Structure 1
């Protein structure tokens, strides 16, 4: 029986076509929320002050939407079927992140990830129930597609040089606009400009585009209205063009895999139509690719209206022609094809042949594009990217390294993981070489790092159950009903498949789309009664509304408080840019730290103020406050390099060099490829060891020098290890012996009376020219060590004396010193 207030039918809710005003409010709110979210720098996962504000706003808005959902569905909440129990099972996902707080590498990042997981869980529950209503399902699907088309258009606006115009369009509500321009809508790297639209990262944009390319083709074939078919057909060229302009090799490599998986669930007639429409839109894209690509590259350098208009004309004309051709085929050819292949479609395994054939076609296409001159029809930037696709290519080798390093982290945090954001906090400790990557470039590996095997098993059980039950229900249903939810399968599956090789899910907006996809698939699952866990409606409502009510209250309080803290932190940052008032800046920072007492950005800024205060006044209170603040921060953020570095600096300012040395040595294992860290450790070891010479404590001297020489050997071994990297793999940051390292290590050897060792070590730092003071000092100590060891190097001696004749006296003095 239908409930007159909420417009929901208990037994046949999925076929219900009417919805109450409350449900329409919820649906419209969800759509507006997604539109807002898509332009908030794609809601990155909150690893800095720049990103955390949109995350907390997203949590507020999601929680309010969830509260409306609880009110709207209170009377029909049940826990009778397996599908119903998914609403409770999803709670385990944020709970596994809460559990990982026990061993979190970063409390700040871990808490943010808990909040993000709560956003995902609430969106899943909301959409799973909402999408069972046909009207709302249609509206939300149309809105998702419309949003995708807006994002595609927005990206192309930037490609054609309309940076200021595109910034003004969204600058009034988006935090992604800086100085009137959307931040990194065009991503520049060694390959040149790459299209990223709202995502700031081309590979993630490629995953988004691929999902909506296939969704566009599916919607085109499914739609009955001519103008809808024309719209979807029109957008195929802009989407394919944008996909190519991302220069994403990951997208191009994974596209055939996603395509084949999608085809497996379609009838042969539709499979053929997919091939035809993709080929037509691909041909249209290739025809205009060179002029549009060249126009965009020129417009990045200097905007001219004529060139931008020319680029738009190419794109629009090609899109119109493709749309009309596809519309005509869909109108006249598609029905005949469906009729002719009807008997074949009914055969067992009929849907397998074309996908298998597509694999062969993909191989042929790959051979042509990668190994022949066919590749030359593409622009140089794209052709070069294709040419470099191979298993020895640096991005492939680097990803393999990331995965191996992630396995090391998992081995140390096996069961419950190292907390949200653990990879970015820990990777410098476990990395094989000095790359810079705050992401593991594999969502699933990164997920295990964060929540361990336990959390990963729970997550995989959740998503595999949804996919399995969706496909099972899809096969059993008639074509009209099952197509109502196929969009959500394409959306989640595409992004997850591409996330095997990248960090797409680190963008919260992308994660939201994936969980909305899960919700859509769950809505399509045939409800199967669970007798053993069956509860009365009253008990089910009581359990769920209690959990939901507590969650809403807690999340609203937390999100509002965190928003306040974020505002205080931003206020302090703005004050610091315009004022030198210690009290004003401190007041804003204190307000943030009252709420989040170890917030890294505010803690670092406040401790820096204390350091400046101590330097200016020598007031011990400033020193003590700064040290206490940083020590407190490091208990919550033990791998935060900036906090450790700042604490070392405060100790040095105070003259507490022993404490500075202890920290530099203690944290060296966390930053094994930081060349500057080891240079400073070696220098401190020498300075402190040298100071003990007059104290009559040879054991202490030897301790400092031994530590410094061990650090030096670490650099030597690391530099040798880097020579073993596979050809083609980029090393990353520099990691090598510097003249300062060699000089200090050589001095320590000398002062330990290992003159032969000192000479051998110092000889490696002798330069061809001795114009630099450090280079001359290395030569001086080298020659003195040789004298002590009963040897000489006349060539180096002559070279040094030629630069400065006084060096002869300095060498003599050194050679007479006894330590």
Structure 2
């Protein structure tokens, strides 16, 4: 970034302050958007109706912000240099998601991602231009830090059992409330209670906290006002304690990695300050971590005001002490430190020594807290989590499996991807074992799955170019100019690096922060002319053309988002009516409205389908049957992998007694749910029933078709069980996947009725049990003995146990042996 660029920036430093009302509206709208977003779209951007509406509102608000931006900046847009062309480049990101719609695994989820990506593009474009202004940049950075501190405080209120009070503070603008408490602000899993604040997922909150821990240290050192230094220093202990309370191993692993990388950007004096401040606040946090953890666990079980005050007392007093210490250092030591290290700072490679030393220190601390009893100073739940950090730990092995499975999807959807949300829809088809994970736990791989190689190249080149140009300019500039936008690097680098291990970017608020951060980084990259003369566009016509294109896009996104909000409202209204109304027409009306806007929205499609099935069952009116059946068939064109829609279609055939068609749907779709044991069990049981019916009708061809399909399903289960036995020792298999007595019995019968007594005996032996009091177990034993006798041998022990329970069993076995096929 050239001196000329910053000179221009300095002249425009009060552009917003002196600008018309429109500039202030733009700035205020962004701040309100950032403040509103955490409590609305921090939730995972799933497809469920209750998650969709705030996403659409967020995008509508982003479109309005873009329109205000166009009205304010249309005269200043010049596509003459690399920086300005990024405003064009970013438009390719939602475009690649639009292209992915054509082969999307789920049209509904893919369309949602187009809308979300559009809001990200808005935040980048606005940030790219607005954050060149020093005043606007300072205000936005202050707002971001303030919002982050509010989120930290909100989380701690919930940790200290004051969820209802925290809920009252946000109930009027949050959609995450249940029983006056923000849902899962403290979540519970197999590890115990974990702090999540607004994110409802501890690992993403840890990524957020990691980013803002470094942002707080940076802001503390950068601040020239004593109260600014005190505020940022005061927040260090709450942030570090919150990181520990998330119990996030990924956060603890990535924190030192990001810390060392950020140190490389700093001069030795500031590197020392970073180490000192994080060291002081880290030690102070550890000193009270056991107490705060135990009090929080107690308060989330039984709330007591005195205990809560005690918890807050430990936290606030410790934070105040740390703030005082850091202020003293800033006041009396920093200037001397900088003067003392001035000569060393100018030496070549001087900035490498402390990061290298930090790596050694981090390694030593890791050894102490993971490999020795030193971890006992930590809370028990944190100590346990640290003890389990290793490459053979189940979460590591599971993530590696996700990554391998993601590449299987990419292989089948290589160029334009499988559309937004594809992993959630397709993972059951490609999974290596029966885990449940609607996220690939790696943002970059998930992005590759969604938009393919083409979209991934566009995104990665966009990302790498911004980081390269920012770092190159950062090296050349003076200290003040380096610090002006360094906060954005901290946020984007921290979150994106942690997103290698988790799905932070699936939270829209996190995405908003990252793209605004990228815009802030790009805002100060050098204003270098384009190499290709033909791409250099000049004049007011360029500004007008870009403004018109972006403006039209903003209007389209705004209209689409508002219509989707209306559709979502209608869908939610129908779900409420189901609880109170018995009128088919009353419930159907809002569903029709939703589906007239989003023709295949899965939740509304399935609800309306259920209504048609109920009314048809009651009235036997063919019009209702055909309306529901045709609706599901058409919806499956957009949602071919939706298991619930397939099951509804199967039920439609069953209602008409079309068991053969229902069975065909089960078989043809089994490859999409390779580890669904219930799906296989249905194929086996229905294959036996249909095959037996065909046998009774002397239809040998149909008998063989159904029996063989059922046997093939059983063989896939056995192959799956063999595969699961090869999983690494520390990896969880996932959902239940095992033989059941019913499927063993039905498969054994099918082999027997196909005149395959050897295979029948082999299959039935799998299900033999000592206890034959259960009717199914007894029947397995009966058919097993018959299969052996069919071969001219027997198992006298099993036969004697059968006869002991019921003397007539011998006759039943003989009748099976004498059966003719």
Q: TM-score range by the shorter chain?
A: over 0.9
Change (3 A) 1:671 1:350: same
Paired with 2:212 and 2:444, the residues of 1 have a C-alpha distance of 22
Paired with 1:614 and 1:198, the residues of 2 have a C-alpha distance of 44
Q: Could you say which residue in structure 2 is the equivalent of 1:701?
A: 703
Q: Could you say which residue in structure 2 is the equivalent of 1:90?
A: 90
- Report the more deviating stretch, 72-81 or 662-671: 72-81
Q: 1:586 aligns with which of 572, 585, 588?
A: 588
Q: 1:770 aligns with which of 763, 767, 772?
A: 772
Deviation per residue, 1:663-707 (Å, 9 max, x gap): 000100000000000000111111111111132221221111111
Q: Could you say which residue in structure 2 is the equivalent of 1:491?
A: 491
Q: Could you say which residue in structure 2 is the equivalent of 1:61?
A: 61
Question: What's the offset of the Cα at 1:554?
Answer: 0.8
| 8 Å CA contact 2:443, 2:504 repeated in 1 | yes
Q: Could you say which residue in structure 2 is the equivalent of 1:160?
A: 160
SS in 2 for 1:62: helix
Paired with 1:487 and 1:427, the residues of 2 have a C-alpha distance of 36
Q: Could you say which residue in structure 2 is the equivalent of 1:336?
A: 336
Q: Could you say which residue in structure 2 is the equivalent of 1:371?
A: 371
Q: Could you say which residue in structure 2 is the equivalent of 1:564?
A: 566
| 8 Å CA contact 2:43, 2:200 repeated in 1 | no
Question: What's the offset of the Cα at 1:810?
Answer: 2.3
Q: Could you say which residue in structure 1 is the equivalent of 2:42?
A: 42
Deviation per residue, 1:473-494 (Å, 9 max, x gap): 1111111122010000000000
Q: How does 1:51-450 map to 2 (within 5 A)?
A: 51-450=51-450
Paired with 2:12 and 2:635, the residues of 1 have a C-alpha distance of 51
SS in 2 for 1:187: strand
Change (3 A) 1:217 1:121: same
Paired with 1:518 and 1:578, the residues of 2 have a C-alpha distance of 48
- Structure 1 spans left out of the alignment, 5+ residues: 1-7
Q: Could you say which residue in structure 1 is the equivalent of 2:3?
A: none
Question: What's the offset of the Cα at 1:542?
Answer: 2.5
Deviation per residue, 1:766-796 (Å, 9 max, x gap): 1221222211221121122222221222221
| 8 Å CA contact 1:43, 1:55 repeated in 2 | no
Paired with 1:166 and 1:91, the residues of 2 have a C-alpha distance of 39
SS in 2 for 1:348: coil
| 8 Å CA contact 1:41, 1:198 repeated in 2 | no
Deviation per residue, 1:591-631 (Å, 9 max, x gap): 11111110100000000111111222222222222211111
| 8 Å CA contact 1:19, 1:133 repeated in 2 | no
Change (3 A) 1:544 1:41: closer
Question: What's the offset of the Cα at 1:125?
Answer: 0.4
- Report the more deviating stretch, 165-174 or 212-221: 165-174
- Report the more deviating stretch, 144-153 or 94-103: 94-103
Paired with 1:435 and 1:729, the residues of 2 have a C-alpha distance of 10
Change (3 A) 1:296 1:434: same
- Report the more deviating stretch, 618-627 or 575-584: 618-627
Q: How does 1:776-787 map to 2 (within 5 A)?
A: 776-787=778-789
Q: How does 1:518-557 map to 2 (within 5 A)?
A: 518-530=518-530, 531-557=533-559
SS in 1 for 2:285: helix
Deviation per residue, 1:729-750 (Å, 9 max, x gap): 0000011111111011001001
Question: What's the offset of the Cα at 1:41?
Answer: 5.0
Deviation per residue, 1:92-113 (Å, 9 max, x gap): 0001111111211110010000
| 8 Å CA contact 1:264, 1:352 repeated in 2 | yes
- Report the more deviating stretch, 669-678 or 94-103: 94-103
Q: 1:672 aligns with which of 671, 674, 677?
A: 674
| 8 Å CA contact 1:79, 1:537 repeated in 2 | no
Q: Could you say which residue in structure 2 is the equivalent of 1:626?
A: 628
SS in 2 for 1:658: helix
- Report the more deviating stretch, 112-121 or 809-818: 809-818
Question: What's the offset of the Cα at 1:19?
Answer: 4.1
Question: What's the offset of the Cα at 1:29?
Answer: 0.8
- Report the more deviating stretch, 383-392 or 520-529: 520-529
Paired with 2:596 and 2:805, the residues of 1 have a C-alpha distance of 61
- Report the more deviating stretch, 62-71 or 775-784: 775-784
Question: What's the offset of the Cα at 1:653?
Answer: 2.5
Paired with 1:737 and 1:568, the residues of 2 have a C-alpha distance of 43
| 8 Å CA contact 1:211, 1:495 repeated in 2 | yes
Deviation per residue, 1:11-37 (Å, 9 max, x gap): 954675734221111111111111111
Q: Could you say which residue in structure 2 is the equivalent of 1:733?
A: 735
Paired with 2:341 and 2:487, the residues of 1 have a C-alpha distance of 24
Q: Could you say which residue in structure 2 is the equivalent of 1:686?
A: 688
Paired with 1:595 and 1:420, the residues of 2 have a C-alpha distance of 19
Paired with 2:712 and 2:795, the residues of 1 have a C-alpha distance of 28
Number of aligned positions between the proteins: 812
Question: What's the offset of the Cα at 1:813?
Answer: 2.4
| 8 Å CA contact 1:435, 1:733 repeated in 2 | yes
Paired with 1:193 and 1:802, the residues of 2 have a C-alpha distance of 53
Q: Could you say which residue in structure 1 is the equivalent of 2:17?
A: 18
| 8 Å CA contact 2:12, 2:134 repeated in 1 | no
Question: What's the offset of the Cα at 1:812?
Answer: 2.6
SS in 2 for 1:155: helix
Paired with 1:698 and 1:116, the residues of 2 have a C-alpha distance of 55
Question: What's the offset of the Cα at 1:10?
Answer: 9.1
Paired with 1:272 and 1:179, the residues of 2 have a C-alpha distance of 47
- Structure 2 spans left out of the alignment, 5+ residues: 1-6
| 8 Å CA contact 1:46, 1:55 repeated in 2 | no
Deviation per residue, 1:629-653 (Å, 9 max, x gap): 1111111001101111121122222
Q: Could you say which residue in structure 2 is the equivalent of 1:3?
A: none
Paired with 2:136 and 2:450, the residues of 1 have a C-alpha distance of 35
Deviation per residue, 1:266-310 (Å, 9 max, x gap): 010000000000000001101110110000011111111111110
Paired with 2:650 and 2:635, the residues of 1 have a C-alpha distance of 14
Deviation per residue, 1:198-253 (Å, 9 max, x gap): 00110100000000000000000010111110000100000000001000000111
Q: 1:747 aligns with which of 744, 749, 765?
A: 749
Pairing 1:601–2:603 present? yes
Paired with 1:576 and 1:14, the residues of 2 have a C-alpha distance of 57
Change (3 A) 1:17 1:334: farther
- State the Cα RMSD in Å: 1.3
Q: TM-score, normalised by structure 2?
A: 0.97
Q: 1:643 aligns with which of 639, 642, 645?
A: 645
Paired with 1:16 and 1:353, the residues of 2 have a C-alpha distance of 41
Paired with 1:140 and 1:599, the residues of 2 have a C-alpha distance of 37
Change (3 A) 1:105 1:88: same
Change (3 A) 1:650 1:378: same
Q: How does 1:458-469 map to 2 (within 5 A)?
A: 458-469=458-469
| 8 Å CA contact 1:568, 1:591 repeated in 2 | yes
SS in 1 for 2:17: coil
| 8 Å CA contact 1:755, 1:789 repeated in 2 | yes
SS in 1 for 2:535: coil
